[in-house]
């Protein structure tokens, strides 16, 4: 079976690694930005996705490039008062079987690249269209070349070309949020008194998240603001430090000091799509942000892409070459959960700064919304899930 994967971001790389681990190595990756590295971003990989990295024998490496998050601290962005301290560290590991990690996004991508063997083919091209030709799935590249496979998986992110084959819902819509990013060198950021929690400050119309990555090599900064003007989605577009400062005037001193340290920030628009009612058509499927792009407020999108990878590799390998059965099972196993995370991330955007910000609803209501109680707690249903165990338990073979 030949598998074509469009996009070698976290999702596409994880899928190639999972396929190889299952013994499927006739895999072709098509990536438009092979040479453009350096996204200037950190990432939190939560326990649910760590189970898959562990299955890929990458947990030791993960521990080398990342560190365990001590938890989440939420404060008001205007006056800095503490709203919620949510436990992390060993407690997460005890409850969910693995910890949450904070790391440099580029280190994560490089770790996945190193996991791939030389058998995996890489095309450094943009895919401009996908279609079926009889039983074969076909990707057309920008140089005019066509490549064929038994199955084609779109891991091509929020602006997915592949998604257009599956759904007629058109282009992703600007979500009215601009996201500033920077990795502040550790030596400089050490002056800011922040420990190894993930720290968030939020209020009406804006929020900031900061956490250490690379064992203290950098402090990852993400600042979100509501924006009327549409901004393109890009991991590499730059904004100016002055515009960043202008967007965060009057914030609590620690956030102001953080922002003062940002010299050359990246900026991206956040885009969204409605949840899909199926993830495949014929022998073409979507995964990761191509299937369920999310607002970044639950730090969950890459984790869902990693879960998709495991499910796809499992289904493709188990279906004995029957692609229709494999993709139908993938859809059944993944769509309900990933769409739920997609919807919850959008609700979290409202809680963070659109309508129900802490300044509007008060600390107690915010704590209840974020943490909830019992099964309503998003950490429970999001972080406790173990797709490796679940698919093994539910498998008949
Ligand atoms: C500011 C911010 C912070 C975030 N923080 C977290 C976090 O802490 N934890 C978390 O789990 N998630 C987080 N996310 C979400 C996470 O980044 C995404 O969900 C994740 O990157 C999705 O991976 P993907 O591989 O599906 O898509 P992408 O990462 O978008 O990768 C798509 C790849 O496909 C390539 N591509 C696109 N189109 C084509 C084409 N036509 N031809 C060839 N190649 C193509 C692109 O170049 C890219 O390499 C965050 C997102 C943002 C914006």
pLDDT of residue 359: 60
Q: Is the CB of 265 under 6 A from ligand 1?
A: no
**Any domain includes 315:** yes
Smallest CA separation from ligand 1 atom 50, residue: 296
Q: Is the CB of 106 under 6 A from ligand 1?
A: no
Could you tell me if 130 and 152 are in contact, meaning their C-beta atoms sit under 8 angstroms apart? yes
Identify the CATH number of the domain in which residue 133 sits. 3.50.50.60
Q: How far is the CA of 333 from the centre of ligand 1 (A)?
A: 21
Question: What residues contact 54, with CB distance under 8 A and at least 6 apart?
Answer: 98, 388
Which ranges of the chain does DSSP label H, i.e. alpha helix? 10-21, 47-55, 59-65, 89-96, 105-115, 163-166, 186-189, 241-247, 253-261, 288-291, 301-318, 323-349, 358-361, 363-371, 378-383, 387-394
Question: What residues contact 250, with CB distance under 8 A and at least 6 apart?
Answer: 78
Q: How far is the CA of 9 from the centre of ligand 1 (A)?
A: 6
H helix or E strand, kind and range, residue 152:
strand 151-154
Q: What angle do CA 257, 99, 60 make, to 5 degrees?
A: 100
Q: What residues make up the domain containing 23?
A: 3-36+106-172+276-356+364-394
d(CA 312, CA 298): 23
Q: Which atom of ligand 1 is nearest to the CA of 270?
A: 53
**Any domain includes 328:** yes
DSSP assignment string, 157-196: -TT-STHHHH----SPEEEEEEEEEEEEEHHHHTTS---S
Q: Which atom of ligand 1 is nearest to the CA of 181?
A: 1
Q: Which atom of ligand 1 is nearest to the CA of 305?
A: 26
SS3 category, 238 = strand
**Any domain includes 241:** no
- Pairing, β 67-68 against β 42-45: unpaired
Q: Which atom of ligand 1 is nearest to the CA of 46?
A: 11
- Pairing, β 173-185 against β 151-154: unpaired
Q: Is the CB of 222 under 6 A from ligand 1?
A: yes
**Quick one: DSSP state of residue 144?**
S
**Any domain includes 290:** yes
Question: What residues contact 232, with CB distance under 8 A and at least 6 apart?
Answer: 268, 269
Smallest CA separation from ligand 1 atom 4, residue: 296
Q: How far is the CA of 112 from the centre of ligand 1 (A)?
A: 14
Q: Which residues of the chain have pLDDT under 70?
A: 37-38, 353-362, 365-366, 368-378, 395-397
**Any domain includes 314:** yes
Smallest CA separation from ligand 1 atom 45, residue: 7
H helix or E strand, kind and range, residue 223:
strand 218-226
β-sheet with 198-203: strand ranges across: 82-87, 71-76, 198-203, 206-213, 218-226, 173-185, 266-272
d(CA 313, CA 259): 42
Tens digit of each residue's pLDDT (9 = 90 or more) over 62-103: 999 999 999 989 898 999 998 888 878 888 999 999 999 999
pLDDT of residue 374: 42
| Gyration radius of the chain's alpha carbons | 21
Smallest CA separation from ligand 1 atom 53, residue: 296
pLDDT of residue 368: 67
**Quick one: DSSP state of residue 396?**
-
**Any domain includes 60:** no
Q: How far is the CA of 293 from the centre of ligand 1 (A)?
A: 9
**Any domain includes 237:** no
Q: Is the CB of 126 under 6 A from ligand 1?
A: yes
Q: Is the CB of 179 under 6 A from ligand 1?
A: yes
Query: How many structural domains compose the chain?
Result: 1
Query: CA 272 from chain center: how many Å?
Result: 13
Q: How far is the CA of 92 from the centre of ligand 1 (A)?
A: 25
Q: Is the CB of 130 under 6 A from ligand 1?
A: no
Q: How far is the CA of 302 from the centre of ligand 1 (A)?
A: 7
pLDDT of residue 348: 81
Q: What angle do CA 128, 130, 136 make, to 5 degrees?
A: 145
Closest CA to 11 of 302, 222, 362, 255: 302
pLDDT of residue 372: 57
**Any domain includes 252:** no
pLDDT of residue 104: 96
Q: Is the CB of 127 under 6 A from ligand 1?
A: yes
Q: How far is the CA of 289 from the centre of ligand 1 (A)?
A: 6
d(CA 97, CA 47): 7
Q: Is the CB of 305 under 6 A from ligand 1?
A: yes
Smallest CA separation from ligand 1 atom 48, residue: 9
Q: Which atom of ligand 1 is nearest to the CA of 222?
A: 1
């Amino acid at each position: 079976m030949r598998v074509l994967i469009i996009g070698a971001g976290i999702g596409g790389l994880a899928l190639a690694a999972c396929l190889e681990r299952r013994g499927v190595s006739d895999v072709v990756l098509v990536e438009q930005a092979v040479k453009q590295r350096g996204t200037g971003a950190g990432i939190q990989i939560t326990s649910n996705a760590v189970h898959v990295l562990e299955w890929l024998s990458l947990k030791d490496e993960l521990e080398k490039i990342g560190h365990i998050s001590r938890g989440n601290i939420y404060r008001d962005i205007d006056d800095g008062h503490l709203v919620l301290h949510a436990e992390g560290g060993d407690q997460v590991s005890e409850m969910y079987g693995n910890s949450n990690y904070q790391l440099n996004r580029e280190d994560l991508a490089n770790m996945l690249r190193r996991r791939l063997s030389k058998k995996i083919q890489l095309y450094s091209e943009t895919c401009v269209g996908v279609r079926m030709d009889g039983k074969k799935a076909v990707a057309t590249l920008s140089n005019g070349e066509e490549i064929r496979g038994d199955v084609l998986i779109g891991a091509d992110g929020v602006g997915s070309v592949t998604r257009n084959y599956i759904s007629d819902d058109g282009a992703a819509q600007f979500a009215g949020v601009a996201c500033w990013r920077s990795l502040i060198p550790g030596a400089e950021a050490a002056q800011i008194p922040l420990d190894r929690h993930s720290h968030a400050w939020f209020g009406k119309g804006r929020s900031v998240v900061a956490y250490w990555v690379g064992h203290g090599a950098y402090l990852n900064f993400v600042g979100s603001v509501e924006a009327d003007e549409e901004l393109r989605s890009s991991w590499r577009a730059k904004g100016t430090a002055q515009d960043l400062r202008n967007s965060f005037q009057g914030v609590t001193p620690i956030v102001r000091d953080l922002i003062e340290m940002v010299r050359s920030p990246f900026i991206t628009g956040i885009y969204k799509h409605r949840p899909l009612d199926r993830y495949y058509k014929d022998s073409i499927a979507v995964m990761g942000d191509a299937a369920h792009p999310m607002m970044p407020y639950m730090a969950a999108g890459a984790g869902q892409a990693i879960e998709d990878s495991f499910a796809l590799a499992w289904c493709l390998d188990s279906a004995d070459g029957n692609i229709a059965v494999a993709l139908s099972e993938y859809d059944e196993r993944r769509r309900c959960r990933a769409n739920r995370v997609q919807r919850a991330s959008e609700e979290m955007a409202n809680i963070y700064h659109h309508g129900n910000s802490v300044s509007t609803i008060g600390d107690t209501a915010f704590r209840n919304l974020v943490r909830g109680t019992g099964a309503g707690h998003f950490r429970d249903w999001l972080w406790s899930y173990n797709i490796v165990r679940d698919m093994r338990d539910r498998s008949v073979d």
